[in-house]
Structures are given as structure tokens and as C-alpha cells.
A and B are shown apart, each in its own frame.
Chain A
Amino acid sequence: MSSILRLIVQRISLALIVLIGVSMLIFAIARLIPGDPARIALGPNATVEQVEILRETLHLNDPIYLQYGYFVRDISQGDLGVSLYTNRPVTTDIAQFLPATLELVIVAGIMMICIGLPLGMISARYKGQFIDNLLRVVSLLGVSAPSFVWAVILMLLFAYFLPIFPVAGRIEDTYVIKAVTGFLLIDTLIDGNIDAFFNAFWHIFLPAFALSLSGIGQAARLTRANMIETYNKPYIEMMRAYGVSPFRIASRYAFKPSLIPSLTIIGLDFAAMLGNAFLVEAVFAWPGLSRYGVAVILRKDLNAIVGTVLIISLTFVLVNIIVDLLIAFLNPRIRYSQRPK
């Protein structure tokens, strides 16, 4: 078995254990939230009899281990149950809301990489100069304020005072795009509708930027610190002595070794954005899974809570596996460590 394959098998096995643990934990925790799920679902006007019938239907009167047994039986058939909040199968809800969140997080992740890493490089290259100080302040601002604060500030600046960007939804009402992947930026291209693509991009820009700001700050600061350390290495000194251009030194010789610690943080940030997306989704009325997750927690919608947390955990785990593989690809020492002794 090759070292990369061995690494993949090892990571997937660990991921399965993590997911089973998460499912047991969230199944128990969801039931500790105060309130009767049946009463909350049926609303204040429901009679005691109606509430009792729903409790029976949901097996809420059974012991928790039996309830978990029913859950495992159903999930093995791909059934996460029905959401009491939307009255639809949880799998239908997740299939509808997950692509919107993934699209938002992926675009935010791309922004984090495409803006954060160059900012770190520039900062390191011009260490101690005006541009470095300025970028450090910008990075610090990004890290220090939570995403939803940025979401409101950006909305006020670029939608309220300067009406440049839209404030709600994924695309203008006038466009009808056939859902193929659920990712509007891709579906509009599949549809061959360039105008709709730009409209979707125009809608996603502000929420994705608000979501990515903290990551941009972190990526920039980390890249700067790592690159400054790398710049002090003798081989960089040698490159300078050979007359290699500063841009080439920065992009080819200083950046790659500095990328490995940044990549770990970017991976974690990327996964964390799935959770942080909630408030940004709320501010920009983005119909995503994070907003759905919080709504179902507030209504103690047990099936939907477990389904949402499992999907977010699965995405978190997958992103971490991908990051591990990327690091192994960039750092041969990790690949070699997987070889059989």
C-alpha cells in the first residue's frame, strides 16, 4: 500500500469513529435542551391530546437507548426522519440548504487564500515599512471582530450608504436557474447564463467577504510570521547573493515552506466557517444550512438537529482529511512517515 493510500485509510477510519461519537453525543445533548419538542412543533394552540399523539409518533416516551436504536435503524436506510420545523424529510432540507452554505464557505475560503496569503507575503516582503504596518492593522481588524459584526458593517457601507451590493438572497428574483448541483455559481454556468452568473457572484461577494475576513487576517498574519522566519534562512541569503529577483524569492523559495503551518490553520478556519456562517447567513438572508441549524435548535427539532450536526461534522472531517493530504503532498517528511517500517 502506498504511503498516501495508507494515510487516507487511516484518516477515514478515524473519521468514522469521530462521526459515531458525534452522533451519540448530539443525540443525547439534543434531548437535554429544555422544552417538549412535540409541544414546540405543534405550537401554542395544540391540545394536550395532539401533543401526546406526536410524542408517541416520535418515540419520545421510550427510553433514550431505544430512541437511539430507532435512529440507527433509520439512518442505515438513509432516513434522517422528518423535520418538525419544516414538516419535510430532514434529508430534503439538508439537500436544499447545504449547497448554499457550502458555496458561501467555499467562496469565502477562496477569498481567504487569495487575499490572506498575498497580504502575508507583501507584509513579510516589506517588513517594518508603511505597507507592512498598514496590512498588519487590517489583519488585526479582521481577526478581532466576529464575522457578523463585519456583515452588518459591510452591509451598512456597501448596501445602505453606497447601494452597490444586494443585501438578501442568492440571486435576483428575475432569474430562474435549473438546480443541477445546487451551487448557483456553477448552475448558472451550466445554464449558459453569464448574466445570472455575475448576478449570483454579486450576491455572494459581500457575505463571503464578511465570513472570510477573520480567516484573511489569520492567514495573512501567519504567512507573514512564517515568511519572515524563512527570510532569515541561509538559503534565501544565497538566492539574494545569486541576484534572484525579490518577487521570485518571495513566491518560489520563501513562500512554499511557509505555507505548511498556514495551510493547517486555513483548513481549520475553513471548517470553522461552516459554524460561523450562521450569523452571516442571518444578516444576508442566505438560505443555508447554518441558519437552518440554529432555527432547528431553537425549536428543539430533534431529527433536524442531529442531521445538521452530523452533516457539518462530516464536512469538518472531510476538510481536515483534505488538508492532511495536501500537507503530506507539500511535506515529503509526512509522506515518508507513513511508510511501513
Chain B
Amino acid sequence: MKFYQKFKISLLAILVALLGYSVQASAGGTLRIDEVAVGELDPGKASDYADSILMFNVYDTLILPVQGGPGSAPHLATSWSQDGNTYTFALRKDVKFQSGNLFTAEDVVFSLDRMKALGSGLSYLFTVVDSATAIDNSTVQFNLSKTYAPFISSLVRLPIIDKKLVMKNLADGDGEMGDWGQAYLSQNSAGSGAYRVTAHNPLEETVMEKSSTYFLGVASDAPNTVRLRYGLEAATVRTLIAQGKHDISSQWLPPEVMGALAKEGAQLFSESGTGAFYLKLNTTKAPLDDVNCRLALANAFDYESVVKMIAINDEVSSGRAATGAIPVGMFGSNPVGQELKQDMAAAKQHLANCKYDAGDHTLELSWIAEVALEERIALLMLANFTELGFKGEIKKLPWALFAEQVSKPENTPHVSQLFVNAVTGDPDTLIYGMYHSSNPGTWQSPEYLDDAAVDVLLDAGRSVTSASKREQVYAGLNNRLMAIAASVYAFDRQSIFAASNRVSAPALTNPADAFGLDGMGFSFRLMSVKD
């Protein structure tokens, strides 16, 4: 037998052996999902979507957002009361951490102190809290430096840590608390949540197992094991789902891939009501320092086409036409039915009232290099705005460069495209950072807006504690922001996830079960997985 024939036969034999071997592989009883970024397991540093999924499953919080509506419901707390700037919480007495330690008020105090001491992640939400005190084992008191109405909703971002466990695992560091358990908590969980971490590699995956001691109990058909994988490519996710080896994709899968999976029978899950997509107008740069020119752009923008651009299929899209500055579902939003529409006649009317001549100005239309979709939206803007007579120049900016450029108004493009989310579900965490004049030049505020009426309303949103009055304040704010066209409110964001048919997730499919908070729909204890 000739040499190359032997070689060919050997190669074939290897392939046949591998084919036979592949038949043995199977997976079951496990939920497999993916996210783009690394997963941060330390509650003091967690901030983005993957981190939120980890926090909401591994740790518990004093309150939870109400399912299917605005507001907060007790969770580790049984009730709370407010006396001026002091909030007192009565805590559950039947909760144990995964370590077996009993949950007490000391754990709440420790969790807050730790978050403030580290000063990372979402700790800025608690800068207004002066101190927390354990009144007794099941009562904790928070003292705020000033009235801050969104405080209760902020508590959904304060994961409660097992103090005793962390104190046993302190590593060296400055001061009495050493490293505050950073080394330990970056690799281990110390929560009371329905799932505990059994393995964590921030670039590869986090493996979680169902906790048998969860205080609310977990349904038997909820996943026993969850594998949260990081950084999978779109082609890989598509193949894995097709092979039945992956269950829920991240929201960042391109719409075409998502659509192809849906055509092959995958379910489409969604999460909405927490954020929107804004075309942010630099209000300090001519011609957009004239409100009429801004209103002209806001009326010229084609809201229908942009929603079609992000459509997955005929029924599902990654966004809905906006009704105003505040997304539908939040305090102060305009109702469904009042969607914004392109109105070229009104746009031309506003332009006629603008002190600038459109033809004299070239608008810089930027898009973030990491988000391919934004290039298409930039082209849509160019088409819309040139119809009014403006000249346009499309600028591609990597995120890092964009964040640097917007620190100075003269370097900030005329139009910047951004997705912005409310990290607590309260409109304050969505729009205060964008539009209050005390926060100019951050990635959220390339508008450099300085409007006294907006500032007054934003401050009122923090100081007014009655829910109905806050509703009125934010409705007024919404109207004001529409009237001065600080941004073009392009669409309300809706995160879409492709999922295999073995998964059921009511919080991601039924609006009455939705939490209105990014990532909380991935509460695994509320999901069920077929073997």
C-alpha cells in the first residue's frame, strides 16, 4: 500500500472515531446562557448586565421591584417606614446565607459600609446615605444626609453580604478591614440567593448551583445548574443553540442572527422599560445652541424607519417608537399611542425660526465604533437632516475616544448616539445624569444642557417623596425635555434574547411578571428548564 493511501486511511479512521465519540456527548438539567463582558462577582464592584445577573441570583436585597408595575416590594425586609431622612427596615428572621449563617441587620450595615469604602461599581447610588445602624438583629436604620426619593428603589442595588463569612476571609490591606474581602469575593459567593457560585472564571464562565436552603424555596423544575458563559461569538452562539447546547443568547446577538434562530424555531424573550436610545444634541455648538434648530432635527428624524432597522422579524424589534424622553413604563412617561413621528413640515417651520442658515453648517454625526448598528442610524440621520438643507459628516468614534472627547464641549460632536439605562428602574437614575446642569461632559451628558426649568424638576424628583407627586414632576419634566429637544428620543430600548424551547422564563415573556429592571428577568429561580 502506498504511503499516501495509508495516510488517507488513517485520517478517515480518526474522523470516524471522532464521529462515533461525538454521539456520546449530551447535556441536560443545565441552563446555559451567555453575556459579552466579564462577570464581576464582587457586589461592591458589580455594575453592568452580566454582573447584574450574578447579583440578582447569588445575593438578595432588602426590596425587589414590583413585578408588572412600578414601585418596590419587600424581600429581605418585611416592611419599612420613613421619618424625615431616616428609613427604618424590619427584616426577615428566617433567612440563612448559603454558608448557614443567619441573616441579621449587621450584614446590611456591613454591606453598605463595604460598598461605600470600596467606592466602585454602583456605590455612587449611596453617597447620600450618611450611615446605617443595626438597631437590633432584625431592624436596620439608614440615615440620609438629605431627602432622596429614589433611595428605596436604589436598595435593589445593595446586595446583602454574609459578614461573618467575609470577616473570616479578609486578606491584607490598609486599615482594620484589610482588603474588605475583595480577594475572596472576586472568586466566591457570600450571599443568601437562590444560587451559589461553584466556579468562576471572569473571562470564561461562572457556574452556579441551585441552593437547597433558599428562604423562599425554589421550584423543582428551575435549573439545577446555570452556566453563564462570557464573550461567545455570534457564529458560536448560533451553532451552539442549533446543536441544543445553549439555551439563551445575550441581547447583543446581531438582529439577523436572532431572526435566523427565530425562523429555526427559537423563542424570543424580551426585557423592556428600563432605557432608551438617544441622539444627543450638543446644545453649546452652533447651530444646535438654537432650540429651533434642535426641534427641526427632532421633527425631521424618521422614527418609523429606525424601529424597522432594529427589527428581528415582523413581530419583534429591539425597540419601540419612543413617546418622549422617558421610556414607557416609567414615572412620567407618555402612554403608548403617542409615539413620535417624522413631520417634515413642522421641521421646516422650526428651521425657519432658527437664527442659523442650515446650509452654512456641517453637522458631525458620530457613532460608537463598537456598535455596528449605529453606523446605519448615522446614515439615516444624514439622509433626514440633509433633506432640511444641513450638510453632514459621519464620525466613527471608539468608545474610549468618545468618552474622552465629550469632556470638552468644543470637542463633542453635534450628535452622539447612546443607549442609556436606569440602573434602579427609577427615572432619576436614567435622566438626572443626562440633563442636570451639574453633570456636564460625561458620556451620558454630551448635550451640555443648562436649563433652569429642567434642573428644578430633576431636583424635585429627588425631594418629593409622594409617588403621585413624583409622577406629576416627571410628566412635567418629560414635557419640558420634549419642548427644548435636548436630544432626539429615537426609541425605547427592548432587549431581545433568543432562547431554546426547553426554557420557560415568565419574567422575560409575560409583561405582568416583568421586573422593569435590567437583568432581573434572569432570576433563575423563576425559570423552568426541561431536561
Contacts and interface: CB of A to CB of B under 8 A. Distances in A.
Interface of A: 33-36, 39-40, 42-50, 53, 85-88, 93, 96-97, 118, 122, 131, 152, 155-156, 159-160, 163-169, 172-174, 198-199, 202, 205, 247, 282-285, 287, 291-292, 295, 300
Contacts of A33: 400
7 contacts: A33-B400, A34-B400, A35-B404, A36-B403, A44-B403, A118-B7, A285-B204
B466 interface: no
Interface of B: 3-4, 7, 15, 18-19, 21-22, 25, 27, 30, 38, 40, 42, 45, 47-48, 119-124, 127, 182, 186, 201-204, 227, 229, 231-233, 235-236, 238-240, 242-243, 245, 398-401, 403-404, 423, 442-444
B243 A159 contact: yes
Closest 8 CB pairs of A and B: A35-B400, A287-B204, A34-B401, A86-B202, A167-B239, A160-B239, A122-B4, A47-B124
Contact of B38 (A85, A122, A173): A85
B203 A40 contact: no
A216 to B, nearest CB: 13
Contacts of A163: 22, 243
A326 B494 CA distance: 59
A282 B231 contact: yes
A97 B236 contact: no
A168 B201 contact: no
A291 B203 contact: yes
Interface-centre pick from A36, A87, A172, A174 (highest chain B CB count, 10 A): A87
B40 A87 contact: yes
Contacts, number: 135
Given A160-B242, A247-B3, A168 B124 contact: no
A287 B21 contact: no
A36 B122 contact: no
A286 B47 CA distance: 25
A87 B404 CA distance: 23
A127 B122 CA distance: 68
A86 B38 contact: yes
A285 B401 contact: no
Contacts of B19: 164
Interface-centre pick from B4, B7, B30, B238 (highest chain A CB count, 10 A): B4
Contacts of A39: 400, 403-404
B233 A295 contact: no
Contact of B201 (A36, A47, A155, A287): A287
A40 B403 contact: yes
B120 A50 contact: yes
Given A34-B398, A36-B400, A50-B124, A165 B203 contact: no
A202 B45 CA distance: 38
Nearest to A198: B21
Contacts of B245: 166-168
Nearest to B19: A164
A152 B235 contact: yes
A164 B233 contact: no
A156 B233 CA distance: 13
